[in-house]
A and B are shown apart, each in its own frame.
Chain A
């Protein structure tokens, strides 16, 4: 947590899930397994999307014990 460089992982993941969840379902080879494979990719996408949307705008922050705060200050930064 020295510098908040979460920008790069964010971009990577958005691109990845965009690929997996939106583009890939069209590229699945036509066979009997087309439906379930598309469904699987979409379900993986949705669970990730919901997790990230829920954290995008937090309306309250984590409540920490003073020892934990001290630990975070010196070990995570």
Chain B
């Protein structure tokens, strides 16, 4: 029998896997996701394990696949022969891709160079002038030997000003430089970005000048080309280059098409390969955990398996044996286990979110009561008490409902954004929180901080006027007036559902609401904690240990709840003048004092106030409080009794004997218990637990007041938002008013969602989580001496 209330029954099985069919059996078990394998070779280094070479092979394949990231199908694990095929094909594919990419890169750089040369040559309009100059100088001064040379190249456009300046300074006017920008941008050969190069043409005379110019050009990383002297040469080169550019372009196009084809083929087949290799690697790693038997004919594995699923285990082993074609079947054998098995909870997508919340405090031990079952209701309820508003709750529920209805959508499911994953994972939680918030919002009578008058209000102003307590002069003279519930007719009967709408109009609204919410928080807290104590009874399975704890809780805090409810019921408005203060009474009870100014709540209260703490505190030595020797003796005896009871029924487990197949001391020995029963240690431990429980009760009761604090904060925030943002727009009239309302509503909506929903929602979530941690600390056994790591079952 397994349920989420307690974890499933799990037993230890020993599997005998035939060597031939081991791979297939483990594959079948993996598909079913039934078992958790134990490591039988804990002392063996990772590099010395039996199947380490196969694991490494799989890892190499994964590295080859890593550049591509396609969607994932679910094929079964491949056979070893298939793996070899995958290996070969993937290597071939990777090689081809690399080659194609290299060729593409080379072609691109050739194309760039060719284009540059073309551009330079064709943009040399100015060159005609130089040519003329050349011819002129040659013709008019045959004696002077003026050799006009040219250097042409391209330079990065950002470097042009400094290039020009440097040339001028270095060559002192003995050169003529001409810059022209290219029409279309071309790829930079090194970085690959598109740059609009600038073509330059330098004409100079003299050898020294030429060297200087060349050095400067090198300095600026320009690409220089030989410049042909005559027009005819230029035309020839131009045509040749243009033809070459066309050729390169067509070759590039073909290369790109081929690359496209390769990639398409890869994308089609790659996802399957990826999953297959992952499964293969996982299987090999599990096989590494097994130990070879003496005869080496079969592998022996130990695993944890839920008791209810043992038949499935057997059929999986049989299936694996059949697939590998071996004649002998693998089988299993149930072992008695001395260490406690790991905890397994049968979860679905609904309950998983709540289990995560409880696990944040600590994973329950094997077969321990799991608070997660009730957390499904109490967590949203506590959240809603802090968040109560109909409008906000409605918005939250709608958002969560959308997420729940669209949960199959792959865009939502596979989004890797962490924050989105958290919200999407908790969609059922958010839905419940929203629904409960609508309810508590209805109780608090708040909808976007406005009250709703579903029924007629219980308070009426008329009788105040009829009895002439108020009239026009009184109204004129006083700004604020209080309604008196003692006057007949003013207050008829309590509002049937929730808080009366008249309170939202009152200036002393907070006085009433604070009193109501504080008392409500304390009552809810004490009920929640008592519920936790009762749940922990299922862990102890002994009624006797439950009684002192329950007694402590109820005598002190149950009495507080009683006083609160008593005062609510018994003290009518007529007796309002003599209503006692519960807080003072409670404090006085602890201090064993009486206050003459504070009237008694009921007859005999003084006596009760003395007896109850004694009854409850007689678990802890009262010597601080009382001088009565008899009381001290009685209290010490009770403490001793409690501790003895705990010692007897909560004795730690016997030491772990180790697994049958592992060598001595090989087993994960971290969980081994001590052999001796150290009496002083355990006594100390139980005494600490008692004190922790008592102090925990007091501090946790006080911490439930955060329910009041947060609901007050939420109510005030939404009121401020309404009053200071939306009301501005609602005061305008006419068409202008509607435009203003449109704009201001935008701000109102943005602030509502960001501050009130997201910020307040997260805050209330966090505080509800904190309260549940304190709840879990009451329910679960927390080992103070040794922090045992409780494992949850994890599957292949």
Enumerate chain A interface residues (CB-CB to B < 8 A): 1-2, 4-7, 9-10, 12-13, 32, 35-36, 39-40, 43-44, 46-48, 50-66, 68-70, 72-73, 76-77
**In the complex, are the beta carbons of B505 and A64 less than 8 A apart?**
yes
In whole angstroms, what is the CA distance A17 to B512 when docked? 24
Which residues of the partner chain A approach B512 to less than 8 Å between Cβ atoms? Answer: 58, 60, 62
In whole angstroms, what is the CA distance A69 to B194 when docked? 76
15 of the cross-chain contacts (CB-CB < 8 Å) are A6-B495, A7-B493, A35-B5, A50-B519, A51-B497, A51-B499, A52-B495, A55-B500, A57-B568, A57-B570, A57-B572, A62-B483, A65-B507, A66-B481, A73-B461
**In the complex, are the beta carbons of B480 and A66 less than 8 A apart?**
yes
**In the complex, are the beta carbons of A63 and B506 less than 8 A apart?**
yes
| One of B439, B460, B497 near A76 (C-beta < 8 A) | B460
Known A47-B440, A51-B443, A59-B571: A76·B493 in contact at CB below 8 Å:
no
Known A6-B493, A62-B482: A69·B565 in contact at CB below 8 Å:
no
**In the complex, are the beta carbons of A62 and B508 less than 8 A apart?**
yes
B498 within 8 A of A: yes
**In the complex, are the beta carbons of B507 and A56 less than 8 A apart?**
no
CB-nearest residue of chain A to B458: A6
Which residues of the partner chain B approach A61 to less than 8 Å between Cβ atoms? Answer: 459, 482-485, 490-491
**In the complex, are the beta carbons of A51 and B498 less than 8 A apart?**
yes
B461 → A minimal CB distance (Å)? 5
Which residues of the partner chain A approach B523 to less than 8 Å between Cβ atoms? Answer: 46, 50
| One of B443, B480, B490, B498 near A63 (C-beta < 8 A) | B480
A8 → B minimal CB distance (Å)? 9
B422 → A minimal CB distance (Å)? 23
**In the complex, are the beta carbons of B460 and A4 less than 8 A apart?**
yes
In whole angstroms, what is the CA distance A69 to B459 when docked? 12
In whole angstroms, what is the CA distance A65 to B484 when docked? 14
**In the complex, are the beta carbons of A60 and B520 less than 8 A apart?**
no
Which residues of the partner chain B approach A46 to less than 8 Å between Cβ atoms? Answer: 523-524, 527
CB-nearest residue of chain B to A66: B475
In whole angstroms, what is the CA distance A27 to B520 when docked? 28
Name, among B443, B458, B496, B507, the residue most crowded by chain A CB atoms within 10 Å (CB to CB).
Answer: B496
Please give me the 8 A-B residue pairs with the lowest Cβ-Cβ distance, nearest first: A62-B506, A61-B483, A4-B492, A9-B496, A59-B576, A63-B508, A55-B494, A63-B482
CB-nearest residue of chain A to B470: A69
Name, among B484, B502, B571, the residue most crowded by chain A CB atoms within 10 Å (CB to CB).
Answer: B502
| One of B5, B385, B455, B482 near A60 (C-beta < 8 A) | B482
In whole angstroms, what is the CA distance A29 to B687 when docked? 43
Which residues of the partner chain A approach B571 to less than 8 Å between Cβ atoms? Answer: 57, 59
**In the complex, are the beta carbons of B440 and A35 less than 8 A apart?**
no
**In the complex, are the beta carbons of B568 and A53 less than 8 A apart?**
yes
**In the complex, are the beta carbons of A70 and B475 less than 8 A apart?**
yes
Which residues of the partner chain B approach A72 to less than 8 Å between Cβ atoms? Answer: 461, 502, 505
CB-nearest residue of chain B to A13: B496
B523 → A minimal CB distance (Å)? 6
**In the complex, are the beta carbons of B573 and A57 less than 8 A apart?**
yes
Which residues of the partner chain B approach A60 to less than 8 Å between Cβ atoms? Answer: 482, 485, 508, 511-512, 576
A28 → B minimal CB distance (Å)? 13
**In the complex, are the beta carbons of B483 and A54 less than 8 A apart?**
no
CB-nearest residue of chain B to A54: B516
